[in-house]
């Protein structure tokens, strides 16, 4: 029992620290700026793309995505992978991205990192919610609206896929995806307010 708890704690700490690496901030420093002082001020791939251009935004997205995917895969490959260990890794790495210890417990909104976690746990839901995001983004040009609605679709899709037998997830995993969706939507509360009052900005990337 003690070894199980120790394993949970170690995986949680390691995943949190891995998730805390602020790639958007690092990329900004490489380019000579503090990304927090430009664009939306968010520590994420969208703001990097908006401020620094497409290639840097894509690089940031890939790095943040891998932050979510690699810890989950490592736990599944190198342990017996009970649900609890995978869920702890997924929660911790997303928490690290959102509340980075290296940025005084501030960070991004968790979309790319959460997407990486999702691929490791529920790839069919990732594909479905990814398609939802793409359709909404290209029809509205609002990253925030696409992200919020895609997040809301996540637990619904996981339930439907499980019930139909396409990709069966255990109840703990489904609860984890529900929590992930709630956290993601909560992190967009400011964007939701601006969408409601009509002051949210549409995405226009920097031309380079």
Instruction: For the chain, give every domain's residue range.
Output: 2-197
Average pLDDT of the chain, as a whole number: 91
* CA separation, residue 85 to residues 63, 97, 115, 126 (Å): 23, 19, 18, 20
Question: Could you tell me the pLDDT band of residue 208, with boundaries at 50, 70 and 90?
Answer: very low
pTM for the predicted model, two decimal places:
0.89
Return all residues near 42 (Cβ < 8 A) that are at least 6 apart.
24, 108, 109
CA distance 195 to 8: 39
Q: Give tens-digit pLDDT for 139-150.
A: 999 999 999 999
Question: Could you tell me the pLDDT band of residue 81, with boundaries at 50, 70 and 90?
Answer: low
173 closest CA partner among 88, 112, 113, 94: 88
Q: Give tens-digit pLDDT for 115-136.
A: 999 999 999 999 999 999 999 9
CA distance 82 to 79: 8
Region 150-171 average pLDDT: 91
């Amino acid at each position: 029992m003690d070894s199980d708890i120790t394993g949970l704690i170690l995986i949680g700490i390691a995943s949190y620290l891995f998730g805390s690496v602020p790639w958007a901030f690092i990329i900004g420093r490489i380019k000579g700026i503090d990304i927090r002082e430009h664009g939306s001020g968010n520590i994420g791939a969208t703001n990097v793309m908006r401020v620094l251009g497409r290639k840097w935004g894509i690089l940031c997205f890939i790095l943040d995505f891998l932050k979510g995917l690699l810890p989950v895969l490592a736990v599944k490959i190198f342990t017996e992978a009970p649900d609890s260990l995978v869920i702890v890794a997924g929660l911790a790495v997303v928490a690290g991205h959102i509340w980075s210890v290296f940025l005084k417990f501030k960070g991004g909104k968790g979309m790319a990192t959460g997407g990486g976690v999702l691929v490791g746990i529920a790839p069919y839901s990732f594909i479905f919610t990814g398609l939802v995001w793409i359709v909404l983004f290209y029809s509205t040009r609002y990253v925030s609206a696409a992200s919020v609605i895609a997040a809301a679709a996540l637990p619904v899709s996981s339930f439907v896929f499980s019930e139909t037998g396409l990709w069966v997830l255990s109840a703990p995993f489904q609860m984890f995806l529900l929590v992930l969706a709630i956290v993601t939507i909560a992190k967009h509360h400011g964007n939701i307010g601006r969408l409601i009052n009509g002051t949210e900005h549409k995405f226009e990337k920097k031309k380079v």
